Structure 1
Amino acid sequence: MRLLPQAEEIRTIATSFGYTTAYRFGPPAPEPILLLSGRQASTPMWRANIESLREIGTVWSIDSIGEPGASAQTKAMSSPCDQAAWVDEAIAQLGVERVHLLGVSIGGWLAAQCAIHRRERLASTVLLDPAMTFAPVTWKMVAVSLGSVVPGMPQPIRHRLLSWISGGVAVDDDIPEARLIASGMRDFQQHQPRPTLASADDLMAITTPVLAIIAGASIVHNPDRAAKRARMIPTAQVEIWPGRSHAINGEAPEALTSRIAEFLGSR
C-alpha cells in the first residue's frame, strides 16, 4: 500500500455480507472508476494502474469481500446475485451517482455479475481478461488454483504457478504484487460459491456499455472462445490483445488507460 499513490479518502463500508475498505484516489466525482481486484488479491494489485487512471478520472478501489485484504465476510454468499449485491451496496455508500466498474480476472467476473444482476448504479463496465465469465477455465488454471488449497505447498512452486499466469515472467518475493497473491494463496481460506458462466440469455440482456479486453496469451481460458461469447452482449466492444497474458493490467498499464479513456469518452 505504501507504494501506491496517497489515497485522499479511506472509508470502511458495511454491507449485508460483511465489511470492506474503499480507497479514493482523486477528488470526489459523480461517476468515478471503481476497481475490483483479482482472486487472492486486493487494492495493492493495481499499483501499476492507479496513477495513470487517475489522470482520466477519480478512482475508487474496494477490497472484495470473500478475498484477502481489508475486508471481512460475515455472512455466507450462495449465488452470483449475493456477490453482486454487496458490490451494489458498497457503491451506494460512496456518495456517487454511478460508477465505471473496472475488474480484472475474477474481479471481471464480479463486474459482469453486477451488469447482469445490479446494473442500476453502473455507467459502464470494463472487463480485463475476466475469468469464468465467457469461457471455462483451462487445465493450467485448475493447476494454479490448486496452489490456493493445497496446504504446505513450497513458496517457489506458488511463484512458478504465478509465472504461468504472467506469461512466463519470473516471479519472486521481490515483486510486491506476487508476494501479495502468494500470501493469499498460502494463508487465506475462501468461503464463496464457485463462479459459474453466465447464460446466453443473461449476456444478451446486459444493457450497460461493456468493454471486454481478452488477453491473447491468457492461460485462464481459450481467448478466441471467450471473445466470441463476449460478443453476445449487445452493448459490448470486444478486443483480443495479442501477446498479453492474464496479468494484462500490470503488463500494459498505459495502453489500457488510453483505451479505457477512449471508451469512457464515447459514453
Structure 2
Amino acid sequence: MAEISFPEPRIGPEWARRRIGAFRDAVAFERFAAVYREAMDGLPEPEEQRTVDTSYGTVRVYRFGTGDGVPLVLMPGRQSCTPLWRTNLPGLVRGGRPVYAVDGLGEPGCSVQSAPMTSGADQAAWIDEMLARLELPRAHVLGVSIGGWLAVQVAVHRPERIASVIALDPANTFAPLSWKMIVVSLGSVLPGMPEGLRNRLLGWISGGIDDASEHIEGRLIASGMRDFKVRFPSPALPGADELRSLRVPVLALIAGKSIVHDAEKAAARARTLRDSAVEVWPEASHALNGEYPERLAERVHAFLDGLPEHGRQG
C-alpha cells in the first residue's frame, strides 16, 4: 500500500462546541491512525489517493481500478471509512469501471470537517461537491448502513450527477431504527465503555459474532467509536414525498437478520420507489457486504450492466 498521508486532524472537545467531528485527544488520534494504516495495508493498491475541498471540509478519496464505465462511489457506514471495503474491492473493480472509496466527512478517517452539517441536504451538498471536484459528471453511489442513507440523500437533494443508488441495509432510510440498534448505538459510544463489551455490541450488529476485534474492520470501527466524536444530528427518516421524488434506479439489498430495522417493512417501503429492485437476503446480517463479498459484487455488476446508461462515462 502506498504511504497514507493524514491531514492535520480535528482534536479536542472545543470542536464539539462548533458541531464539528473530532478525535477526543491526541492519543485517540494516534491510536486510530495506527489501526487505519494497518487496515489500509490489507486493501489493493489504489491507483490514486486525493483530498478534495468542499464547503464542509476536505474529503479523502481513493480510486481503485480502471475502465471507462460510469464510476462507482462507495460510502461507508457510521464510524467507518475506506478499509471497510477490504473484501469488496477485488470483486467490484472487475466491473470495468473506476471505483472510488470515500472517507465520510465528519467521520473518523482522513477527511476533515470544517463546517457544521445539520441536515440531509448538507450531507448531499458535500457529496455533490466532491463529485464535481473529482470531475465526475455521473456516478453510481453505493452505501452501506448510514452510507446507504447518504446515497439516498444525495439522490433526493442533488440528483444531477447520480446515475443510480445501491443501498445495502441502509439505516433509517426505508424503516425506522429498531430499539436494539438504538441501544447498541448509544451503548457502544459511551465514554469508558470496556473494550470487550464494545466489541460484543459490534458483534451483535454483525450477525452475533463473538468478538468483532477478530477482524480488522471491527477493530477500526471500535476505534472510531471510542476515539472519535461525531457531531451531526441523527439521520432523519426520509418522508414519503422525498422517496417518491427519486428519479434514479435504486437497488436495495436488505439483510434478513439485521437488527437495524424490520427487514420486511424496509423492503416493502423500498418497493414503493419509482424504479427499484429490492431483495431481502434472509441469512445476512447488517454486515452483509463483509459476509457475501462475491455475491454482492455479482449482484452489483448485474444491476449496473442492466441500466440503460451503464456505458461509458461522458
> TM-score, structure 2 length as denominator?
0.83
**Is 1:81 equivalent to 2:121 in the alignment?**
yes
Would the aligned equivalents of 2:202 and 2:212 in 1 still touch at CA under 8 Å? no
Alpha-carbon shift at residue 148 of structure 1 (Å): 4.3
**Could you say what secondary structure the match of 1:170 adopts?**
coil
**Structure with a larger share of its residues in helix:** 2
SS where residue 54 of structure 1 aligns?
helix
Counting matched residue pairs gives: 267
Matched, 1:137 2:177: yes
| Alpha-carbon displacement from aligned partner over 1:111-138 (angstroms, at most 9, x marks no partner) | 0001111111011110000000011111
Measured in 2, the distance between the counterparts of 1:175 and 1:259 equals 24
SS at match of 2:301: helix
User: Deviation above 3 Å: which 4+ runs of structure 1?
Assistant: none
- Whether 1:21 and 2:44 are equivalent positions in the alignment is no
* One-letter amino acid of the counterpart of residue 55, structure 1: R
Aligned residue type for 1:181: I
Cα offsets for 1:194-225 (capped at 9, x unmatched): 20111111111100110000001100000011
Q: Which residue of 2 aligns with 1:226?
A: 266
Question: Does the 8 A contact of 1:30 with 1:96 survive in 2?
Answer: no
The answer to whether the 8 Å contact 2:207/2:286 transfers is yes
How far apart in 1 are the matches of 2:68 and 2:286? 30
Greater shift, 27-36 or 42-51, is seen at: 27-36
Question: Any gaps of 5 or more consecutive residues in structure 2?
Answer: 1-39, 308-314
2:236 match: 196
Structure 1 stretch displaced more, 85-94 or 166-175: 166-175
Amino acid aligned to 1:22: V
Shift in Å at residue 145 of structure 1? 0.6
1:180 aligns with 220
* Structure 1 residue aligned with 2:90: 51
* Unmatched segments (≥5 aa) in structure 1: none
CA deviations on 1:146-184 (whole Å, 9 max, x unpaired) are 134310000111111111111112224331000000001
The one-letter code sitting in structure 1 at the alignment partner of 2:124 is A
Pick from 59, 81, 101: which aligns with 1:42?
Answer: 81
The DSSP-based 3-state class of the residue aligned with 2:62 is: strand
RMSD: 1.1
Opposite residue 48 of structure 1, the aligned amino acid is T
Q: State the identity %.
A: 54
Structure label with greater radius of gyration: 2
1:109 and 2:145 equivalent? no
